[in-house]
Amino acid sequence: MKRIIKALSWLAGIALYLGVLGFSANEAENQRASSLEINLEQPVDQLFISEKNITDIIDNQVDSIINTPLHLINTALLEESIENHPLIDEAEVYYTLDGRVSVDVIQHVAIARVRAHGEDVYMNKYGKPIPRSRNHSANVPMITGHIDSSQWREAYHFLQLLDDSPWLGDNLEAISRDSAGKYTVYPRMGRHSITWGELDAFEDKMKKLDVFYSYLTREGQMDSVRTIDVRFDKQVVSTKY
């Protein structure tokens, strides 16, 4: 008898559990979107896109997401549509059972602006071109000169190396590449340019520049230099105003 009662109790528990699941599933199916929350991750000095830009993309896919049954919201399609925007890096769309629809968006980050061969675009942190924004202009280093698609990776690599420099990392105004593949660097500090030449022997050139900058800083001569040439072996050649 006890075994029968125990078995019946066990079956009743399963039935109750399945009933709760069925009720929850039915509730989820009937739940409608009550709010839309957009979380936009972007640098404070690169406000390329706005929340309205994102809601406009969503509105093009869904007439009105508010009051739409949650199970009818195609989150994958919305993510794809948002990520198709050239200034957006990643997007994730999800909803909770209380009706909140959340959209997490990560904007592309520009590390340089490239003006060459009639183009005027940004270079993102992956070294890829992204368009300029009508909403905001980023204060990033300029890359000019002979930069076509085959030299993008080269310029990107050079920019990354310069970014690691304690002198030039946060003080780089522009770099220029001539038709022979030789670079000139324009720092924001002082009033000089650096004749860098080709990208060979980068570490040796940077060591010489570090020593020379330390000397100029120590002597208070940073603003008196017009040009710095680091192309020559074991020496730095400079001119003054």
More confident site: 25 or 220: 220
Please tell me whether residue 229 adopts helix, strand or coil conformation: strand
Q: Mean pLDDT throughout 203-221?
A: 96
58, amino acid identity: I
Beta strands in 7-95 (DSSP E): 35-41, 88-95
More confident site: 183 or 16: 183
pLDDT for res 48: 98
Q: pTM to 2 decimals?
A: 0.82
Q: Of the given ranges (13-27, 75-89, 131-145), which has the lowest mean pLDDT?
A: 13-27
Q: Mean pLDDT throughout 177-205?
A: 96
Q: Mean pLDDT throughout 203-215?
A: 96
Percent residues over pLDDT 70 in the chain: 88
- Asked if residue 140 has pLDDT above 80, the reply is yes
Please tell me whether residue 220 adopts helix, strand or coil conformation: coil
pLDDT, tens only, 23-55: 355 555 679 999 999 999 999 999 999 999 999
pLDDT for res 22: 46
Burial 52-76 (b: 16+ CB within 10 A, else e): ebbeebbeeebeebeebebeebebe
Is the torsion defined by CA of 132, 138, 144, 149 positive or negative?
negative
The overall average pLDDT reported for the chain is 89
